[in-house]
A and B are shown apart, each in its own frame.
Chain A
Amino acid sequence: MVLVIFDTIVTLSGLGIAAAIVLYLVAWKFKVYEDPRIDKVEEILPAANCGGCGFAGCRNFAEACVKQEGLDGLYCPVGGNECMTNIAEIIGSSAIVKDARVAVLLCNGICEVRPKTSLYDGVSTCSINASLYGGDTGCQFGCLGHGDCVVVCDFEALHMDAATGLPVVNVENCTACGACVTACPKDLFELRKRAKKDRKIYVACKNEDKGGIAKKSCSAACIGCNKCFKVCPFDAITMNNNLAYIDSDKCRLCRKCVPECPTNAIIEIGFPPKKERTEQSENETIIKQN
């Protein structure tokens, strides 16, 4: 009996040792060298695997950083500057510093200002709706409101507002990964520079129709009247295809353009409320102008 147990222990131990030697030799023979820096870089990355950098996941991005031995054209928008500086230290190159960005919806065609002209009863996704026609309102450039952007957002930074029918960006959660920018078939999202206190001024419209036609389909549309363009002291506003665009890198948030807009297409967010103009003071300014 004892002998049987002893034999078993010896045989199994022998087998184990033999297998270990074989495995060791095989592992040694087929060893793949991997730069240890890849693991280090991956550890720093946010592990969101969102694809905002243009790679399939964080690991691929880390491999690309190490392989390139530099960070030209590589940037993790989720990790931001801090993360990129740390990566630069590991791979021994200089970091690229970029302004923090945030996704902004360039449409303000809420239900009241943009009446429906037809009834869409097809698949409730923006991509299919856009492949069938311009949309159920008179504006073929505006938000379709099925929320393809909400579905692709990995950071819970977007939700649909039932009252307006438009998606809302939660600035705290938004990492500027750009998933919504690619998902929107109408190209309505823009990654704009984050300013102090998340203040922003932008033209919330992409309607390229001529003024009259644009306004007929949506009363909050940019009509391309050039008023904001003329008043901007910093050359931040450009006019193209009957549409004003405010460059967030040049805009100094002076707010001069906001009251100029006849359709309230320029939106200001995060500013303290302006002093209400009384009727009297308004009359005074008119007299002065005359």
Chain B
Amino acid sequence: MLKTFTLGGVHPPENKISATSKIVEMHTPKNVVVPLVQHLGAPAKSIVAKGDIVKTGQLIAQSSGFVSANIHSPVSGKVLKIDKALNSSGYKSDAIFITVEGDEWVDNIDRTDKLINEIKFSKQEIISKIADAGIVGLGGATFPSHVKTTLPKGKKADYLIINGVECEPYLTADHLLMLEKTEELFVGTELLMKALDVSKAIIGIENNKSDAIKKMQEVSKKFNSISVQPLKVKYPQGGEKQLIEAITKRKVPSGGLPIDIGAVVFNVGSVYAIYEAVQKNKPLIDRIVTVTGKTLKSPSNFKVKIGTMIGELIDMAGGLPEDTGKIINGGPMMGKSVASTEIPIVKGSSGILIMPENESKRKETEPCIRCSKCVGVCPMGLEPYLLSALGEKSLFDRLESDKVMDCIECGSCSYVCPSGRPLLDYIRFGKTNVGKIIRSRK
């Protein structure tokens, strides 16, 4: 019996159509737009000015607090301007525009593919290298990694869990990374184990990626303290709290953090970025992005420079099909549709999904029939029908007491609702406002 989490969960069609396309390095674009907010926390502060010449990997924006992250130039060239640019939130925010000229890199970056096994850094050195390289959680939450590796006083981690679940339908970026950069991922995991002082690491992979499980298990024989755990396929297993429960049977308490129960979770994408940052001095300037969709000519996995426009990626994958209804930044469950192709890839972009018009329309909203399907599938044990009604009426006090802040916004409730109610939209609206109220109390 394969392991999985206990409460709720759904089984959306997997549609992993790009699972067989190898990672292709995308050519460097002519212009890049690097937003200053690509992570959770305070925006980075730009340290370049218009007209400055920058090299690939050079620091261009500095983190402005503990929960913030450095941003490096993904290309070499000239800073065109620092101006507002549309990002995937649908709003404009400050960004650095760079025109590409030449291909000069910062000197100490190791650009070879050679695997470096030997770990010659201390715990502190690893953490500071992660912070310098501006690594954030690449699973999508974009939480700065150096904050996670710096454990709060008195807390100890028992488990390091590596998230290779990729439960989101369509997306295959992590899958391909595990297939192609297997040994690097294990070295990255060892680095994290040293930084966190843990003796045991478990890599969780869903059973639909049997080739990745096989390859990872083979390599894991060389590493005594790292094991690979196949998991039953169920959405949202890639959620931090769900994955911890599936693997360790420990539950993160409401309002608590994984470290409260001795677990730290990193996405495989972040682990690879950490390997590159520590062993090869390479900051986070590119990432793997899945560009997919049933109508797309060639669904692919690209290694893309941060700041590349979504439109260029779609062109590389065969161009935008005529009957496109929605372009989704991310996967179909948690992703967000965007209103323009002129949106840059950021650290948290895991995929671009093209949905044809007939699939992308919302269902007609009908009244709630109290079937409680949403309650049954909620992986956090909440009552989505109630939370959404409270959100609709802006009853924020009750939303807070009904634990709206525990919602992980996985969208399972909206997915199963037979009345097509936009449950998550209302819940997210309530959550944003309750979050504001909680912050204002501090």
Stretch at the interface among B49-57, B87-95, B313-321: B87-95
Which B residues touch A136, using CB under 8 A?
Answer: 339
Q: Quick check: B90 and A132 within 8 Å, CB to CB?
A: yes
* Min distance, Cβ A249 to any Cβ of chain B, angstroms: 30
Determine whether A118 belongs to the interface, using a CB cutoff of 8 Å to chain B. Answer: yes
For chain B, the bracket of interface size reads 20 to 34
Which A residues touch B90, using CB under 8 A?
Answer: 132-135, 140
How long is the Cα–Cα vector from A210 to B365 in the complex, in angstroms? 39
How long is the Cα–Cα vector from A42 to B92 in the complex, in angstroms? 47
Q: Quick check: A128 and B426 within 8 Å, CB to CB?
A: yes
Determine whether B422 belongs to the interface, using a CB cutoff of 8 Å to chain A. Answer: yes
Q: Quick check: B84 and A123 within 8 Å, CB to CB?
A: no
How long is the Cα–Cα vector from A3 to B432 in the complex, in angstroms? 75
Which A residues touch B91, using CB under 8 A?
Answer: 133-134, 140
Main secondary structure of the interface of A (DSSP, over half): loop
Within 8 A of B (CB), among A51-110: none
- Cβ proximity bits B165-178 to A, threshold 8 Å, 1 near / 0 not: 00000000000000
Q: Quick check: B425 and A128 within 8 Å, CB to CB?
A: yes
Partner of A121, one of B339, B340, B361, B426: B361
Which A residues touch B362, using CB under 8 A?
Answer: 121-122
How long is the Cα–Cα vector from A135 to B426 in the complex, in angstroms? 17
Determine whether A226 belongs to the interface, using a CB cutoff of 8 Å to chain B. Answer: no
Determine whether A240 belongs to the interface, using a CB cutoff of 8 Å to chain B. Answer: no
Which A residues touch B426, using CB under 8 A?
Answer: 123, 128
Q: Quick check: B429 and A118 within 8 Å, CB to CB?
A: no
Determine whether B336 belongs to the interface, using a CB cutoff of 8 Å to chain A. Answer: yes
Closest to A137 in B: B339
How long is the Cα–Cα vector from A193 to B89 in the complex, in angstroms? 36
For chain A, the bracket of interface size reads 10 to 19
Which B residues touch A127, using CB under 8 A?
Answer: 429
How long is the Cα–Cα vector from A209 to B93 in the complex, in angstroms? 11
* Min distance, Cβ B391 to any Cβ of chain A, angstroms: 9
Partner of A117, one of B89, B340, B425: B340
* Min distance, Cβ A76 to any Cβ of chain B, angstroms: 24
Determine whether B280 belongs to the interface, using a CB cutoff of 8 Å to chain A. Answer: no
Which B residues touch A140, using CB under 8 A?
Answer: 90-92
How long is the Cα–Cα vector from A28 to B353 in the complex, in angstroms? 74
Main secondary structure of the interface of B (DSSP, over half): mixed
Determine whether A131 belongs to the interface, using a CB cutoff of 8 Å to chain B. Answer: yes
How long is the Cα–Cα vector from A136 to B432 in the complex, in angstroms? 21
How long is the Cα–Cα vector from A133 to B86 in the complex, in angstroms? 10
Which A residues touch B89, using CB under 8 A?
Answer: 133
* Min distance, Cβ B126 to any Cβ of chain A, angstroms: 38
How long is the Cα–Cα vector from A150 to B91 in the complex, in angstroms? 25
Q: State whether A132 and B422 are in contact (beta carbons under 8 Å apart), knowing that A121-B362, A127-B429, A209-B92 are contacts in the complex.
A: no
How long is the Cα–Cα vector from A136 to B90 in the complex, in angstroms? 10
Partner of A128, one of B83, B84, B86, B429: B429
- Cβ proximity bits B334-357 to A, threshold 8 Å, 1 near / 0 not: 001011100000000000000000
Closest to A117 in B: B339
Which B residues touch A117, using CB under 8 A?
Answer: 339-340
Which B residues touch A134, using CB under 8 A?
Answer: 86, 90-92, 339
Within 8 A of A (CB), among B60-84: 83-84
Partner of A131, one of B92, B338, B365, B429: B429
* Min distance, Cβ B305 to any Cβ of chain A, angstroms: 25
Determine whether B428 belongs to the interface, using a CB cutoff of 8 Å to chain A. Answer: yes
Which A residues touch B86, using CB under 8 A?
Answer: 134
* Min distance, Cβ B390 to any Cβ of chain A, angstroms: 14
Q: Quick check: B428 and A131 within 8 Å, CB to CB?
A: yes
Which A residues touch B429, using CB under 8 A?
Answer: 127-128, 131
Q: State whether A133 and B84 are in contact (beta carbons under 8 Å apart), knowing that A121-B361, A127-B429 are contacts in the complex.
A: no
Q: Quick check: A132 and B92 within 8 Å, CB to CB?
A: no
Q: Quick check: B339 and A123 within 8 Å, CB to CB?
A: no
Q: State whether A132 and B361 are in contact (beta carbons under 8 Å apart), knowing that A118-B339, A140-B91 are contacts in the complex.
A: no
Which A residues touch B428, using CB under 8 A?
Answer: 131
Which B residues touch A209, using CB under 8 A?
Answer: 84, 92
* Min distance, Cβ A166 to any Cβ of chain B, angstroms: 20
Which B residues touch A121, using CB under 8 A?
Answer: 361-362
- Cβ proximity bits A111-132 to B, threshold 8 Å, 1 near / 0 not: 0000001100111000110011
How long is the Cα–Cα vector from A189 to B25 in the complex, in angstroms? 49
Which A residues touch B92, using CB under 8 A?
Answer: 134, 140, 209
Closest to B84 in A: A209
Which A residues touch B365, using CB under 8 A?
Answer: 123
* Min distance, Cβ A161 to any Cβ of chain B, angstroms: 25
How long is the Cα–Cα vector from A118 to B339 in the complex, in angstroms? 6
Which B residues touch A122, using CB under 8 A?
Answer: 362, 422, 425
Q: State whether A123 and B425 are in contact (beta carbons under 8 Å apart), knowing that A117-B339, A140-B91, A209-B92 are contacts in the complex.
A: yes
Within 8 A of A (CB), among B423-442: 425-426, 428-429, 432
Which B residues touch A131, using CB under 8 A?
Answer: 425, 428-429, 432
Which A residues touch B336, using CB under 8 A?
Answer: 132-133
Within 8 A of A (CB), among B381-434: 422, 425-426, 428-429, 432
* Min distance, Cβ A185 to any Cβ of chain B, angstroms: 10
Which B residues touch A132, using CB under 8 A?
Answer: 90, 336, 425
For this complex, 24 residue pairs linking A to B, each with C-beta atoms less than 8 Å apart, are A117-B340, A118-B339, A118-B340, A121-B361, A122-B422, A122-B425, A123-B365, A123-B422, A123-B425, A127-B429, A128-B422, A128-B425, A132-B90, A132-B336, A132-B425, A133-B89, A133-B91, A133-B336, A133-B339, A134-B91, A135-B90, A136-B339, A209-B84, A209-B92
Contact residues of A with B, CB < 8 Å?
117-118, 121-123, 127-128, 131-136, 140, 209-210
| 12 further contact pairs, Cβ within 8 A, besides A118-B339, A123-B425, A132-B90 | A118-B340, A121-B361, A122-B422, A123-B365, A123-B422, A128-B429, A131-B428, A132-B336, A134-B86, A134-B90, A134-B92, A209-B92
Which 6 A-B pairs rank lowest in CB-CB distance, beginning with the nearest?
A133-B90, A118-B339, A134-B90, A134-B91, A123-B422, A121-B362
